[in-house]
Amino acid sequence: MSGNKKDRIQDMLTNAAGVADIAERSRKYRNIVGILSMEAARSGDPWFLDEAVKTAGLVTDDPSKAYVEIIRAMAKIGVNKKDERTLNEAFGITERIDNDLDLSVALHELVAAFAKAGVDKRDERLISYSLELAGKIPLDTYHSSAFRNIARLLAGSAPIKAQELLEKAIELIEKSEDTKPVYLVSAFCDIATLLSILDDKRSYGFIRKAITLAHGIADDFESSAALLKIVETENAIGTRHKDDGLLKEAVAISKGITREYYKTLALDAI
Q: What is the pLDDT of residue 1?
A: 46
Whether the pLDDT of residue 3 is over 80: the answer is: no
What is the mean predicted confidence (pLDDT) over 246-253? 96
Q: pLDDT band for 198, please (50, 70, 90 cuts).
A: very high
Percentage of the chain lying above the pLDDT 70 cut? 99
What mean pLDDT value characterizes the chain? 95
pLDDT tops 50 at residue 43: yes
Q: Taking the domains of the chain in order of start, what are their residue ranges?
A: 1-61, 79-176, 180-270
Q: Tell me the three-class secondary structure of 87-154, residue by residue.
A: HHHHHHHHHHCCCHHHHHHHHHHHHHHHHHHHHHHCCHHHHHHHHHHHCCCCCHHHHHHHHHHHHHHH
Please compute the mean of the pLDDT values over residues 243-256 and round it to a whole number. Answer: 96
Q: Categorize the per-residue pLDDT at 179 as very low, low, confident or very high, splitting at 50, 70 and 90.
A: confident
Cα separation, 90 vs 67, in Å, equals: 9
pLDDT confidence of residue 269: 87
- Confidence (pLDDT) at 2: 60
* Mean pLDDT of all residues in 251-265: 95
